[in-house]
Structure 1
Amino acid sequence: MSRRVIRRTARGDSRPTHIEEQLSSGLARVWEIDEVVAAERTAYQDVLIARTAHGMTLFCNHERQSSELTQLIYHEGQFIPAALLAGQRKRVLVIGSSEGVVVQLALWCGAEHVVHVDIDRRCVDLCAEHLPYGYSRRDVERYEKGTDTVQLLFEDGSAVVERLRAENQHFDIVVIDLPDEELNSDQQHNRLYQRKFLEDLRDLLEPNGVVISQAGCASFWRNQTLAHTYQRFSDTFSSAVYFELTEQDWVWVVGCNAATPDPVVTMQHTLKTLPYTPHFIDSNLIVAATVLPVGLRRRVSTYN
């Protein structure tokens, strides 16, 4: 179990002045909290929305999920690689991503129908109310009722996937945007990182469809969960594509239902006609973003 600390004010105020976020064993970073905007224990997690040096910032279970300063870098990494590798972008399934930015990106990239699933309604509501990016409160109200383009479901992701499979529905892109996998832990979201769930998602894909998941950090001292995720994707899909945004210091893995012998060329070609112009991904970056670091390659090779 990782150790996370919230420091309280000296006067006994219950609102935190700092959050200590553990990055790995023996190493943490401390966030200064300028103002607590919302703090609540939902049915699933501790949610804190606060003003920090990075602007409005979302923390779940005391871990930074997104911030006003860098959220677009993160969310482009969460969706654009999949949009560039998928055969089409008409039907998109999003699991997690409480802020709603991934749904917006999907629509901007030409999606005609998006199903968004999040188990924590209260977290989604808090994000819509307080974050200056992603869903508005009106968006949540409309999408929960269902529009021609977006259906928002407050359910368990695995249950929805089972239902969609039973209904023989298929998608061009499936996005997994969940809190980090916690190895050797019984956290309920961990099961959505396992190979069985990836196989269920693969069954939902169109022939040229893809699954993308946030996968962790490439830093040598912090890459264990990334290595596990990359290996599972390699074992489950015809092709697994690594994609790292160094400006966010984070990695995503894309599983392609069809063999993709040259993902760089495929992504560079699709980028030319993508309806949305990314702010942090261009043709030159794609080349570097898809190269696994040497240490990560060595770690993955030990799993084979």
Structure 2
Amino acid sequence: MGEAPQVFYVNGYSKYGHETDENLVNDQNQLHDSWYEEVIDHDLKWSFSLNSVLHKGISEYQEIALLDTKRFGKALVIDGKMQSAEIDEFIYHECLIHPALLCHPNPKTVFIMGGGEGSAAREALKHKSMERVIMCDIDQEVVDFCRQYLTVNREAFSHKKLDLVINCAKAELEKRKEKFDIIVGDLADPVEGGPCYQLYTKSFYEKILKPKLNENGIFVTQAGPAGIFTHKEVFTSIYNTIKQVFKYVMVYTTHIPSFADTWGWVMASDQPFSISAEEMDKRIQTRIDGELLYLNGHWFHSSTIVNKAVFQSLQNETHVYTEENARFIHGHGVACRI
């Protein structure tokens, strides 16, 4: 019998502060047969074999880890939840950014809530019409180490059209006078004690976010797991909450390998979404610098069609997010562990 592999739990961090450099070095020396385990639910885990731990610690707001996994490359983990992985993050970020920008007649300004790793900004900056991208993340530490380690986004971080702001997105939107063509929710999943769940509530959408959109503006947000067994966790509730605020609301989904599930997004506006697959492909060709790896017109139209079970759940959902009555996915943020 060989030695049992070391298992690395992000949710098992000490609650008293950052790991020391000495401990991090010791972790690196022991990673010859080590795994990271993400707890999906009480009876389900998703494991990744590791090359190394690049960073781990606890910021003021979140538990953070940057892992070098053997299967998915560098992976950003926040509050024990996979946020993105190097090998397939393009799927998530193309889906998050491009549908809304391509549906808009002439997007010039984008406000990104969250997005500290820089990938959402990178995709928005591919649009030739773009004049300004504001990326507002609450956590300076996340931004700093993503800027250091995620080399694919270095050009985006230094782009002259990017305005990087460290602040709570709610507070930042409240104080700003201008309006935006697109507002993007690239937020961590709502976990109890995490910093983001209030940015999924009806009052936030209605009183703060929507008034900051231009007349034909579009809001899009990541909306959590949307699989056959997971879509009722938060996806249907986020959809139903946004439906209380905007006239036209659309969902779309796709599989993300490193998430081990189908993922969902919700897009909303007070103007109807009417773009054919052919027109979307035309806009991709004329509006975007570079080539998209995942998204095209026919795929996008197919992604808006969900299976019978998810469709019925979306139609029958009655829960509306409020500060007092939020839904959470499995896990806990720092505020619940201190």
TM-score under structure 2 length normalisation: 0.77
CA contact (8 A) 1:19 1:62 kept: no
Q: Is the 8 A contact 2:61 2:195 kept in 1?
A: no
1:258 equivalent in structure 2: 271
Q: Which of 227, 243, 251 is equivalent to 2:236? A: 227
1:205 maps to 213
Match of 1:246 in 2: 255
- Partner residue of 2:173? 161
The alpha carbon displacement at 1:120 in A equals 0.2
Deviations 1:17-60 (A, max 9, x none): 32221223422211222111111211111111121021111111
Q: Which amino acid aligns with 2:202?
A: R
* Larger RCO, structure (CA 8 Å, separation 6 or more): 2
Match of 2:142 among 123, 127, 130: 123
Match of 1:281 in 2: 295
- 1:241-260 per-position Cα deviation (integer Å, ceiling 9, x unaligned): 11222355322111113133
Structure 1 segments unaligned to the other structure (5+ residues): none
Letter in 2 for 1:194: T
Question: Are 2:116 and 2:146, in contact at CA under 8 Å, matched by a contact in 1?
Answer: yes
Going from structure 1 to structure 2, the CA distance change for 1:75 and 1:131 (only over 3 Å counts) comes to same
Counterparts of 1:265 and 1:26, CA distance in 2: 44
SS in 1 for 2:229: helix
Alignment of 1:77-226 (within 5 A): 77-110=95-128, 111-135=130-154, 140=157, 147=160, 149-164=161-176, 167=177, 169-182=178-191, 185-199=192-206, 200-224=208-232, 225-226=234-235
TM-aligned CA deviation for residue 133 of structure 1:
2.3
| Residue identity in the other structure for 2:269 | C
- Residue 23 and residue 63 in structure 1: after superposition, are their counterparts in 2 closer, same or farther (change >3 A)? same
CA contact (8 A) 1:171 1:205 kept: yes
Q: Root-mean-square deviation (CA), in Å?
A: 2.5
Structure 2: gaps of 5 or more residues: 1-8, 14-24, 319-338
The change in CA–CA distance for 1:264 and 1:204 in structure 2 (over 3 A counts) is farther
Cα distance change on mapping 1:294 and 1:264 into 2, 3 Å? farther
Whole-angstrom distance in 2 between the partners of 1:221 and 1:269 = 36
Distance in 2 of aligned mates of 1:196 and 1:87: 28
Matched, 1:27 2:35: no
Q: How does 1:54-73 map to 2 (within 5 A)?
A: 54-73=72-91
Letter in 1 for 2:270: N
TM-score (norm 1): 0.85
From 258, 266, 271, the equivalent of 2:284 is: 271
Letter in 2 for 1:216: G
Amino acid in structure 2 at the alignment position of 1:31:
F
**Same amino acid, percent of matched pairs:** 23
